[in-house]
């Protein structure tokens, strides 16, 4: 497997967790996830590295059978997907990490620091009501914080985690927690910016902060035929007013991303006046003060419409390490690729890692800017470009 490319590695996952919509569903610890993890172990071994697994199911690849005690250069991404997601989100960066580590090991370069690739067990939160459990565990979060979580079928995180990790144990070494000097993650952009600009490589400056709310308006459900217009308390009619005001007011805040993605009515029947409307509002910005300003605008409007506001997510923006950003820019120049700096609108493991260790992210263009759908794709040239830059940066860092 001397001359394997990143595209070859990705191709070997095309039959794992494939859905009828031609997408991929690998939620943490499910059958497709276990199968994909086993395939990663095979790849790690074929590339001449040593595979390890920790108790939450994070997979690691090292140069030899020595589990590092000193701080490491860590590089990786996650194995799980959203439901009916694409082939590249997470898996691309995870496989590229293993490939880059193997290439550096193989080059015979002297390593001043141990180099470890990681394939995080879970990032998307598609099975349990928790995200980033793999990276959180690695940074010291207790297993028992997650063990009680229950999925849609009533299975607990604890039960299925043990079974999944036990299934892999005969084939791998047992990993304990690492000390981490720096963390690098390669990922598809999942947006249209690089493609539109015609840039080869994106260097992430900040992972945006995110606030998510449920907003609820109550009215009185009643018969659509027999209730005169002036006797109605129509929850949807008021909600439409609030929604229109939210779209208009939030548009005034520069660079804010705001999305109303989910709306639910009760009883949601054609001939009944809506009695209750609930919708989700997602706000993202790289500057926490702007995000807070947006939250203030929302709270005021919600109040004016006598609606209820419940905050369901609050994540602060995470700055990427400036020195590492410069290293990536230098690596792009050294391999002859163009680059630009941009914030990440999506959450990543790098967001969790970045709170505790110097962290950076490399993006490659997404065709059409689409992601989390079966059509998600990146050109083979861009996939290879990203992995080449990753190798170049890592070679510099371990030197």
Q: Which stretch binds its own copies (CB under 8 A): 11-19, 173-181, 240-248, 386-394?
A: 240-248
* Residue whose token pair is 């079974």: 163
Write the CA distances from 326 to 64, 170, 277, 393, integer angstroms: 30, 41, 48, 10
Q: Binding segment for its own copies among 20-28, 35-43, 276-284, 383-391 (CB under 8 A)?
A: 276-284
Residue 256 beta carbon to its own copies: minimum distance, rounded to whole angstroms: 8
Helix (H, G, I), strand (E, B) or coil at 43: helix
SS3 letters for 176-236?
CCCCEEEEEEEEECCCCHHHHHCCCEEEEEEECEEEEEEEEEECCCEECCCCCHHHCCCHH
Helix, coil or strand: residue 91: helix
Q: Which stretch binds its own copies (CB under 8 A): 46-54, 102-110, 277-285, 287-295?
A: 277-285
Q: First CA to last CA across the chain, in angstroms?
A: 25
Between 284 and 339, CB nearer to its own copies: 284
Question: In sequence order, which residues have a C-beta less than 8 Å from that of residue 340 and are 6 or more positions away?
Answer: 193, 194, 197, 199, 201, 202, 203
38 part of the interface to its own copies, by CB under 8 A: no
Among 177, 247, 311, 326, contact with its own copies (rule: CB under 8 A):
247
CB nearer to its own copies: pick between 94 and 243? 243
**Applying CB under 8 A, which of residues 139, 143, 218, 272 lies at the interface with its own copies?**
272
What are the Cα distances from residue 279, in Å, to 44, 235, 252, 301, 382?
A: 45, 12, 21, 14, 38
The footprint of its own copies on residues 180-219 (CB under 8 A) is 189-193, 196, 208, 210, 212
| 372 forms part of the interface with its own copies (CB under 8 A) | yes
Q: Which residues face 136 on adjacent strands?
A: none
Q: Does 346 bind its own copies (CB under 8 A)?
A: yes
Q: How many residues bind its own copies (CB under 8 A)?
A: 58
Is the Cβ of residue 50 or residue 309 nearer to its own copies in the bound state?
Answer: 309
Site string for its own copies, 284-303 (x = CB under 8 A): x-------------------
Q: Return d(Cα 263, Cα 216) in angstroms, integer.
A: 10
Q: How many CB atoms lie within 10 A of CB 382?
A: 22
Tell me: does residue 274 bind its own copies (CB under 8 A). Answer: yes
Q: At what angle do helices 235-250 and 288-304 cross, to 10 degrees?
A: 150
Map the footprint of its own copies across residues 373-392, applying CB under 8 A.
373
Residue choice 48, 68, 158, 345 for contact with its own copies (CB under 8 A): 345
- Provide φ and ψ at 274, rounded to 5°: -60, 130
SS3 167: helix
Q: At its nearest, how many Å lie between its own copies and the CB of residue 335?
A: 25
Kindly state whether residue 316 participates in binding its own copies, applying the rule CB under 8 A. Answer: no
Of 133, 117, 42, 116, residue with least CA distance to 80: 133
Question: Closest CB to its own copies among 71 and 369?
Answer: 369
- Using the contact rule CB under 8 A, the part of the chain among 23-31, 250-258, 294-302, 354-362 near its own copies is 250-258
Q: CB-wise, 264 or 338, nearer to its own copies?
A: 264
Dist. CA 37–CA 43, nearest whole Å: 10
Q: Which of 68, 71, 369, 374 binds its own copies (CB under 8 A)?
A: 369
Nearer to its own copies, 111 or 224 (CB): 224
Which residues of this chain interact with its own copies, rule CB under 8 A?
Answer: 189-193, 196, 208, 210, 212, 221-229, 231, 234, 236-237, 240-241, 243-244, 247, 251, 256-265, 268-274, 280, 282, 284, 344-347, 366, 369-373
């Amino acid at each position: 497997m001397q001359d394997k490319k990143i595209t070859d590695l990705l191709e070997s996952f095309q039959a794992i967790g494939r859905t009828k919509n031609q997408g991929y569903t690998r939620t943490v610890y499910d059958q497709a996830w276990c199968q994909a993890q086993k395939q990663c172990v095979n790849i790690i071994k074929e590339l001449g590295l040593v595979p390890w697994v920790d108790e939450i199911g994070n997979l690691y690849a090292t140069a030899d059978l020595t589990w590092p005690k000193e701080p490491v250069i860590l590089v990786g991404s996650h194995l799980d997907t959203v439901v009916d997601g694409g082939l590249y989100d997470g898996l691309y960066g995870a496989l590229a990490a293993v490939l880059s580590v193997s290439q550096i090991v193989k080059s015979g370069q002297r390593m001043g620091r141990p180099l470890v690739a990681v394939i995080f067990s879970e990032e998307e939160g598609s099975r349990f009501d928790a995200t980033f459990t793999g990276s959180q565990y690695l940074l010291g979060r207790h297993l028992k914080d997650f063990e009680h979580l229950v999925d849609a079928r009533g299975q607990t995180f604890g039960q299925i985690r043990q079974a999944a990790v036990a299934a892999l144990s005969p084939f791998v070494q047992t990993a304990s927690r690492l000390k981490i000097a720096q963390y690098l993650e390669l990922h598809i952009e999942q947006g249209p910016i690089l493609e539109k600009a015609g840039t080869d490589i994106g260097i992430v400056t900040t992972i945006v902060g995110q606030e998510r709310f449920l907003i609820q308006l109550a009215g009185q459900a009643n018969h659509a035929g027999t209730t005169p217009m002036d006797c109605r308390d129509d929850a949807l009619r008021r909600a439409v007013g609030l929604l229109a005001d939210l779209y208009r007011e939030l548009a005034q805040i520069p660079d804010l991303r705001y999305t109303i993605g989910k709306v639910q009515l009760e009883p949601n029947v054609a001939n009944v006046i809506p009695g209750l409307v609930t919708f989700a509002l997602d706000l993202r910005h790289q500057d926490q003060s702007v995000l807070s300003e947006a939250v203030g605008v929302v709270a005021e409007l919600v109040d004016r419409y006598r609606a209820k506001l419940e905050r369901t997510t609050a994540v602060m923006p995470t700055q990427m390490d400036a020195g590492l950003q410069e290293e990536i820019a230098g690596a792009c120049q050294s391999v002859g690729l163009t680059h630009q700096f941009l914030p990440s609108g999506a959450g990543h493991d790098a967001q969790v890692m970045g709170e505790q260790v110097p962290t950076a992210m490399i993006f490659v263009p997404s065709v059409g800017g689409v992601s989390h759908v079966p059509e998600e794709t990146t050109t083979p040239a861009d996939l290879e470009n990203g992995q080449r830059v990753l190798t170049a940066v890592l070679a510099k860092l371990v030197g």
